[in-house]
Amino acid sequence: MAPPGLIHSAPGLPDTCVLFQSFADAASMSGPAAETPSAIQICRIMRPDDANVAGNVHGGTILKMIEEAGAIISTRHCNSQNGERCVAALARVERTDFLSPMCIGEVAHVSAEITYTSKHSVEVQVNVMSENILTGTKKLTNKATLWYVPLSLKNVDKVLEVPPVVYSRREQEEEGRKRYEAQKLERMETKWRNGDIVQPVPNPEPNTVSYSQSSLIHLVGPSDCTLHGFVHGGVTMKLMDEVAGIVAARHCKTNIVTASVDAINFHDKIRKGCVITISGRMTFTSNKSMEIEVLVDADPVVDNSQKRYRAASAFFTYVSLSQEGKSLPVPQLVPETEDEKKRFEEGKGRYLQMKAKRQGQAEPQP
């Protein structure tokens, strides 16, 4: 039997545990106070089947663990008051940087904390630490912000209200509201682009968009879904990362690793029985990085009343590595069509914007 406060997590994740911190512990953290535990931690040892080609932990595996922690704490919070029961569904993941690689044999500590609630959404901040259990060394590998919405168990198309949290400082609520409005605006801008579908091109030339673009078709089964019949956000993110990795590897023909993920927007739920097509294409290359756009389309083949729809979209950034793990120059992308040239310039803008932001953060404060 597990010790008090320690329970096993969802099926399918062996050697995993979830630690619910007490309210007294949670109140001492920087986030808001609430009547339910506002922080949890998931721990899992990384096994060989979690590895990517380079031998480190697959970026999609880490993204899936991040989402699971967020889903647990947000669902728990949304059911903390008497009323209609619900499950928290992932709506958006903000930019996530892979700060340091995680190795096989290390223990991942995924901690999640609720930092803001609006009327219909929950903001969760997640940190991932890796621990070498031989030396005790720990390091921060990932930081992420996720947004969830509570869906009724009686009708998963119905969004319920979120129980409010109590903030220790008024500034926390104001800052959270600004983040909420910003992500809401960005979601509206990226929801759907009519006709924007990745199409195969015969006999493409190397270093072109068509040469490396890739698609994966997946039938959604029960093991991909929640108990309520729609796909876990973490499952979708892992498939998206796999496709982005294939695109990057085809372009570079070297080992590649995930460097960061731009905001992932989940536009609609994916139900059990759907056939999903995850498509990836190169949009931009700098000297040492590649931006890949990934689109997820769902086809409800067992429901003739519903047409194919865009379920999720995101931009992934990858870097090329040598056999020794050193960063390598990236072959430059050759955009051919006007749409490809437009996407290249948009990707360049995102790259320069993020580069300037990193440089600004690195400058010493006066």
Q: Which residues are marked as active site? A: 52, 241
Task: Compute, in degrees rounded to 10, the torsion defined by CA atoms 216, 221, 226, 228.
Answer: 130
For residue 130 the two structure tokens come to 């890796």
For residue 102 the two structure tokens come to 């995680």
Q: Name 175's Cβ contacts closer than 8 Å, sequence gap at least 6.
A: none
Rounded Cα gap, residues 356 and 318, in angstroms: 19
Q: If you count them, how many residues does the chain have? A: 366
Q: Name 93's Cβ contacts closer than 8 Å, sequence gap at least 6.
A: 63, 66, 67, 144, 145, 146, 147, 233, 237, 261, 263, 264, 314
Backbone dihedral angles phi then psi of residue 125, each to the nearest 5 degrees: -105, 135
Rounded Cα gap, residues 59 and 257, in angstroms: 8
In the chain, beta strands by DSSP E:
6-8, 16-20, 39-45, 86-93, 96-98, 107-117, 122-131, 138-152, 214-219, 255-261, 264-266, 275-285, 290-299, 309-321, 327-328
Q: Name 116's Cβ contacts closer than 8 Å, sequence gap at least 6.
A: 32, 122, 123, 165, 172, 173, 176, 177, 179, 180
For tokens 């609520």, what's the residue?
173
CA neighbor of 220 nearest in space, from 231, 206, 234: 231
CA neighbor of 282 nearest in space, from 172, 191, 201: 201
Rounded Cα gap, residues 101 and 59, in angstroms: 9
Q: How crowded is residue 116: how many other Cβ atoms within 10 Å of its Cβ?
A: 24
Rounded Cα gap, residues 19 and 42, in angstroms: 6
Rounded Cα gap, residues 167 and 27, in angstroms: 10
